[in-house]
A and B are shown apart, each in its own frame.
Chain A
Amino acid sequence: MFKKIQSFYLRKIILLIFNFAFYCCLDLKSFPILVLLIAFTYFCSCEKIKKKKAFTAIGVLGTIIIWLVYKLFINALPIGLSFYSFKIISYLIDSSKEKIDFKKTFLNYAIYVTYFPQILSGPISRSNNIVNQLHQTFRFQKEKWLKGIQLIFSGLFLKLVIANRAVVYVDTVFNNYRSYTGLALCIAAFLYSIQIYGDFSGYSNISIGFSNLLGIDIDRNFNRPYFSRSIKEFWGKWHISLSSWLKDYIYIPLGGNRKGKIRKWINSMITFLISGFWHGNGSGYLFWGFYHGILNNLKSPKINNKLQAIGFTILTFIEVTIGWIFFRLEDFFEGIHYIKHMLFNFTINYNSILSSVLPFTKDNSSIAMALILFLFIFIAFLIEVKNKNDYSKHNFCFKISFYIVSILLFGVFVSNKFIYMNY
C-alpha cells in the first residue's frame, strides 16, 4: 500500500493527519493549544517578516509563557507540551540563525512539531533531522524495519517486564517509606533507578522503532547511561536529546565554557537548574538539578585500569541513584528524611531481609516476584554489556523470540503510563 503513495506531498499530508489524529486520541481538549501554538510560532518564524529577531524572541517567549502558565498555575499539563515546546523553540532559533536546511513550509513545520512517535515524551529531535527524512516515509526499507521492530520489542521488554515490575515495589516503599527498613529503602532507591531507565529508555526505543518503521532514522536517546564512569559522562548518555538541547539552546548561548572557569560553572549550574525545573516545580526536582550541576562540575576521574573503571561506574550509579530519590519524592526535605531513614535504620539480618522482600506483594509470593525481577534486571544488564545497543541482524531471531516470550509471560500490563508523560 505504501509503495503506491508516490506523491511526496500526499505522504506528508497523510503523516500530518495521522499526527493530529494520534494527539486527539490522547488529549483532545489540548489539541487547540497545540494547533494555535504551531500557527503562532510558524508566523513568528515566517521568512516574509522583516524584524526576524524580534519575532523569534516573541515566539520563544510566547511558547515559554504558555508552558510556564500550565506548569505553575494549571495543574493539568497538556500531553507532550514540555517536549513540543522545546521542539518549537529549537526550530524558531535555528530558523532565525538560518540553520534550517529544508523548505520552511507550514506543513513541514507542523509535521515536525506533532510528529507522533515523539509527541508524548520525545526524543526532542531537531527539525533538520526529521524533515529532511520525510521523503523516505511510507517506503519499505528492510534494514530500518528490522531495526525498528527490534527496538519496539526491546522497548516493550524494558517497560513491561522491568519498569512495570519494579514500580510495584518502588511505589509501595516510597509512598510510605517511614514504615520500612533501611534495606527496603535501599532496594527501592535502586529499583527506582532501574524503573525510570526501563520506563524512559523503553519509551524512547519504542518511539525510535516506530520512526524506523516509517523510514525515519532518529539518534538514540540513551546510550547505556548506567555504565558511565562520571556524572559528566552520564549526561552524555542519559536523555541525550534533552541534554544536547539544553547545551545548544541554554548553556552555549549563556557563554558555555568560553568566558572563564567561574562563568562556565555558573552557566552549567543554570542549565542543570533549568533541567530540574523542566521536570517539575517541586523542591526535589530543583535540588536534583542543583545536585547534578555540582557533580557535573567536578573533574572527571582519571582511570588507569579496569578495576578503577568498575569502581567509578558503581560510584556514579550510586550518585545518580541518590539524585533519583529527590526526583521521585519531589520534595527536598522528604528526600533528606528518606536518606536519613535509609542510613540510620539499615541492618542486614533474616528479619530485615524478609521484611524488605515483602513490599512486592505483601505475602510470600514476594520471594518469587523479587527473584524474577532481579533475574530480568540481570538479563537486561547482560544484554547491554554484550550488545552495546547493537540493533543489527546479529542474533536477530533469538533476540525477538526472547522479547516476545518474556513480554507475554512476564509482562505487567497494569501500569501503562510512562513516567515522562507527566513532564
Chain B
Amino acid sequence: MKKLSITIIIAVFFTLFIIVLKAQFENKLLNNANYGLPSLIKKGKIDNLFIGSSMFRQGLDSKILNEKGSDSYILSYNGNNPILELWSLKYLLKNNVKINHLYIDMYAYSLTTEPSISDSKILMEVDIKGKLELYNLLNSKFNISDFYSIFISKNTELVATWPIYYQIINPTYYKGGIKTGRDGIDSTKMESLAMIEESQVDDRNIEAIFEIIKLCQENNIQLRYIETPKSLRIMENENYQNLMAMYQKILEEKEVPYYLSYNINKEISYNSYYFFDLIHLSNSGREKYTRDLIEFLSK
C-alpha cells in the first residue's frame, strides 16, 4: 500500500508539473505562427490591426489586406465581444506592441453576449498571468469548472499533438487571416438557416467600447469600427437593426469613425453565394469585400 500511495502522489505531482509547464509556456509554441497573439507580440509593431470575431476571420482576406506593401494583421476569435476585444488590446499594449491603426469588428450581436471564453484558442496564446486575467474577467468568485478548464484542460489536445497539428493548421493562415474559407450557399439553403434572435444588451460590452476608445486615445491609436456584410435576412432583421443603431449612437457620441457594410458595398448582402451562413462571408464574398474595403479606406 505504501508503494501505491507513493505511485499516486508521484503521478499527481508529475501531472501538476506538466500542467504548470503547459500553462506558462504553451504560448511560446506560437511565437512564429501565422496567427495569434504571440507572433504579433514578437513582431512588436503593426500598422493595421483588425481585432474581431469570426466575422473578421471569414470576412477579411489577409493576403489582399497586405498587398501593396501594407502591414496588416487579423486577430480574431470566435464569438469575440467588446469585453474580450478590450482585453486583447490591453494585453498587446502591456506587451509593448505599437499599433498605428486599429479596426474593430462592429458586430451588433456581440453586444448581447456575456464575458466568456468563446474561443479557447486565446488561452493557448497567453502565459499563466494572461490566463489568470481571463479567469478573473469571467469570475468574481472562485469557480472550479472555469479554473480547471482555463488552467488545465483547454488546449491540452493541441499541445499534445503539436508537431502534427501545427504542421497542418499553420500553413492555412496568413498574418492572422485564413487563406481559404468555405464556399457560398444558394438562396434556398440560406432561407432554411435558423435565425439569430438576440436583443438583450450586456452593459459590460458598452463599458468595454468606451474603454477601448479611451485606451486608443491615450496610446495615440487611430480607431475605426467596421461592420462586415451580413446576409439580407440579418440586415433586415429588426433586432439587428436596433442593436446596430445603438452601436452607431455610441460611436457617434464618442466621435469614432465607423464604416457600415452598406457604405462599402451595397450588393454583397443580396447574393447568398457570398455567404456560407447568415453572418459569415464565403471565399468569394471575402475576396470581394476585402478589395472593396481597401478601396473605400484609401478614399
Contacts and interface: CB of A to CB of B under 8 A. Distances in A.
Contacts of A411: 153
Given A363-B78, A365-B158, A409 B164 contact: no
Contacts of B18: 405, 409
A145 interface: yes
A408 interface: yes
Contacts of B11: 400-401, 404-405
Contacts of B119: 363
Contacts of A252: none
B148 A413 contact: yes
A69 interface: no
Interface string B1-41: 10110011011101100110000000000000000000000
B241 to A, nearest CB: 28
A36 interface: no
Contact of B157 (A149, A365, A397, A405): A365
Contact count band on A: 20 to 34
Contacts of A371: 157, 161, 164-165
A408 B10 CA distance: 13
Main secondary structure of the interface of B (DSSP, over half): helix
A154 to B, nearest CB: 14
Interface in B93-111: none
Contacts of A410: 156-157, 160
B15 A405 contact: yes
B297 interface: no
A409 B169 contact: no
Nearest to B183: A351
Contacts of B1: 142, 145
Interface string A364-381: 110111011000000000
B239 interface: no
Given A401-B7, A401-B10, A367 B165 contact: yes
A413 to B, nearest CB: 7
Contacts of B19: 408-409
A146 interface: yes
Contact of A364 (B8, B14, B164, B172): B172
Nearest to A364: B169
B152 interface: yes
Contacts of B3: 396-397
A118 B11 CA distance: 29
B63 to A, nearest CB: 18
B121 interface: yes
Main secondary structure of the interface of A (DSSP, over half): helix
Contact count band on B: 20 to 34
Contacts of A364: 169, 172
A409 B156 contact: yes
A51 B122 CA distance: 73
The residue in A368, A396, A404 that gathers the most chain B C-beta atoms within 10 A of its C-beta is A368
Contacts, number: 72
Interface string B123-161: 000000000000000000000000010001101111011
Interface in A132-182: 142, 145-146, 149
Given A364-B172, A409-B19, A409-B152, A372 B160 contact: yes
A400 B5 CA distance: 10
Nearest to B169: A364
A368 B165 contact: yes
B168 interface: yes
A149 B152 contact: no
Nearest to B158: A368
A409 B161 CA distance: 13
Contact of A400 (B7, B158, B160): B7
A394 to B, nearest CB: 13
Contact of A397 (B7, B120, B153, B156): B7
B94 to A, nearest CB: 26
Contacts of A397: 3-4, 7
A409 B158 CA distance: 12
Contact of A146 (B4, B8, B15, B155): B4
B152 A372 contact: no
B161 A368 contact: yes
A365 B19 CA distance: 19
A409 B10 CA distance: 15
Nearest to B162: A368
Interface string A393-421: 00011001100110011111100000000
Nearest to B159: A368
A44 B19 CA distance: 58
A406 to B, nearest CB: 9
A22 B41 CA distance: 54
B165 A404 contact: no
B297 to A, nearest CB: 29
Contacts of A367: 161, 164-165, 168-169
A64 B119 CA distance: 50
Contact of B160 (A145, A146, A368): A368
A372 B153 CA distance: 13
Contacts of A408: 12, 15, 19, 152
A365 B161 CA distance: 10
B4 A400 contact: yes
A364 B167 CA distance: 12
Contacts of A372: 157, 160-161
Nearest to A402: B11
Contacts of B78: 363
A148 to B, nearest CB: 11
Contact of B4 (A149, A365, A409, A413): A149
Contacts of B121: 363, 365
A365 B35 CA distance: 14
Closest 3 CB pairs of A and B: A404-B11, A368-B157, A401-B11
Interface of B: 1, 3-4, 7-8, 10-12, 14-15, 18-19, 78, 119-121, 148, 152-153, 155-158, 160-161, 164-165, 168-169, 172
Given A368-B158, A372-B160, 4 more contacts: A397-B4, A401-B14, A410-B160, A411-B153
17 contacts: A365-B120, A367-B161, A367-B165, A372-B161, A397-B3, A400-B8, A401-B14, A404-B12, A404-B15, A405-B15, A408-B12, A409-B18, A409-B19, A409-B156, A409-B160, A410-B160, A413-B148
